[in-house]
Amino acid sequence: MTTTQEDWAIAGGCLHTGLQELTDDPRALDTYGRWIVVQTFEGRLVCARFATATPWTDHTNARWTTPVGPWTSSLDREQYVDAVATVRERIAAGDVYQVNVCRILAAEASEPPDLYALAAALSRGNPAPYAATVNLPSAAVRVASASPELFLRRDGDAVVSGPIKGTAKTAAELTAKDKAENVMIVDLVRNDLGRVAVTGSVEVPDLLAVEEHPGLVHLVSRVRARLRPDAGWADLLAATAPAGSVTGAPKSSALRIIDELEPTPRGTYCGAVGWVDADHRQGVLAVAIRTFEWSDGRLLLGTGAGITWGSDPQREWEETQLKVHRLIDVVSA
């Protein structure tokens, strides 16, 4: 496919250039070459194979200068609180145990954003272990992510997922509800991986670890498994996406309730973004949280919280605010 020089991506600490192929077929990730992967929450998959990946070190000079207008939210405080109440009613009725309820912030911009400068600004103002920026005008994908959450890490037949559930300003503010929510999602992730794993290989080496990130802390667990010999990336994504930490449990029930409560599609937010090296059977995909997306003249930024029976509606709203305030500061500076 003929592409322009504007197509590039930053992921895994490397700048990827020289776009060679675009596909929506996940089986390509088990062929050859270095791929960038972006999947929306709703399931649209873009896999881009690049010719060159070089260490990305030019993140100190580029400056973010794109003017951004005021932010609006797909759910205001009252609507979000009502959504939390609805989820608690559905839990009481036995329909579901947990639902991740999200809202999409949107800001008009007078010009298309300089994603390279945004990537640099995020690396300075909100560094993240799974940061990735993808500029693919050939596929209508423009995303800058400062994700702290591991969706899938693959090394040969070894797979690890690192679900995050539980967020607070400090470790002392994490609650019993946060811990229960994390354990619930760990069980869901175990079941998802079990669909493509060697029987008996799924285990949880880390449970409820506290991780510090800019401006907040998270509870993080690790689930690992060994892929069956006949399972590849297509099977792995089919079994696990979208991530359990941004859906709820049971996942099928949570997805139906999300569709009822959220007025705006999530898009790349809560999907997946990262890289795959097919030659070495390795790859790292993040859950696309703390993620900006450029679409139809607007800069989008999603935020959400996991709702359980123990949720306090106002506290859940404040959690959605906490998760994005530093990111908004970055693009407002």
> How far is residue 213 CA from its own chain's centroid?
15
> So what's the pLDDT on residue 1?
28
Instruction: Indicate the pLDDT class of residue 152, thresholds 50, 70 and 90.
Output: very high
With a cut of 90, say whether residue 28 has pLDDT above it: yes
Contacts of 191 (CB under 8 A, 6+ apart): none
Query: How confident is the model over 205-238, as pLDDT tens digits?
Result: 999 999 999 999 999 999 999 999 999 999 999 9
| pLDDT of 130 above 90 | yes
- Cα 78 to Cα 74, 85, 150, 260, 310: the distances in Å are 11, 11, 32, 17, 19
CB atoms within 10 A of CB 113: 20
Q: Does 179 participate in catalysis according to the annotation?
A: no
User: In this predicted model, what pLDDT tens digit does every residue of 161-208 receive, in sequence order?
Assistant: 999 999 999 999 999 999 999 999 999 999 999 999 999 999 999 999
The per-residue pLDDT for 60 is 66
pLDDT in tens, 233-263: 999 999 999 999 999 999 999 999 999 999 9
Name the fold adopted by 8-332: Anthranilate synthase (3.60.120)
Tell me: the pLDDT tens digits for 314-325? 999 999 999 999
Residue with tokens 């895994």: 12
User: What is the mean pLDDT of the segment spanning 298-303?
Assistant: 97
User: Is residue 103 packed enough to be buried (19+ CB in 10 Å), middle (13-18) or exposed (0-12)?
Assistant: buried
Helical ranges in the chain per DSSP H: 77-92, 115-125, 176-194, 233-240, 251-261, 313-332
Note the pLDDT of residue 112. 80
Instruction: Assess contact for 180 and 308: CB atoms under 8 A.
Output: yes
What the block records as the tokens of 321 is 């605010």
pLDDT value of residue 4: 36
Report helix, strand or coil for 126.
coil
Q: Which residue matches tokens 């702290």?
A: 148
206: part of which helix (H) or strand (E)? strand 203-213
Q: d(Cα 184, Cα 287) in Å, to the nearest integer?
A: 18
pLDDT at 3 > cutoff 90: no
DSSP state, 13? Answer: T
Residue 253: Cβ within 10 Å count: 18
The active-site residue, picked from 6, 21, 108, 165, is 165
Average pLDDT over residues 116-136: 95
Q: Is 22 within 8 Å of 138 (Cβ atoms)?
A: yes
Tokens of 148: 């702290």
Q: How far apart are CA 207 and CA 219, in angstroms?
A: 9
Q: Is the pLDDT score of 41 beyond 70? A: yes
Q: pLDDT tens-digit profile of 79-120?
A: 999 999 999 999 999 999 999 999 999 999 877 889 999 999
Q: How far apart are the first and last CA of the chain?
A: 38
Q: Do the Cβ atoms of 219 and 182 come closer than 8 Å?
A: yes
Supply 290's token pair: 């703390």
Residue 2 has pLDDT above 80, yes or no: no
Q: Is residue 165 annotated as a catalytic residue, yes or no?
A: yes
Which residues make beta-bridge pairs with 141? 136
Q: What is the pLDDT of residue 332?
A: 86
Q: 149, 181, 293, 319: which one is catalytic?
A: 149
CB 309 within 8 A of CB 199: no
What region does 200 belong to: left with phi over 0, alpha with psi -120 to 50, or beta? left
Dihedral sign, CA of 85, 166, 191, 44? positive
What is the token pair recorded at 192?
């998802």
| Residue 121 scores a pLDDT above 60 | yes
Residue ranges of the domains in the chain?
Answer: 8-332
Residue-wise pLDDT for 43-85, tens only, equals: 999 999 999 999 998 766 778 888 888 999 999 999 999 999 9
CA gap 274, 14 in Å, rounded: 11
Task: For residues 276-291, give the mean pLDDT.
Answer: 98
Phi and psi at residue 79, to the nearest 5° = -65, -40
Distance CA 306, CA 123 (A): 27
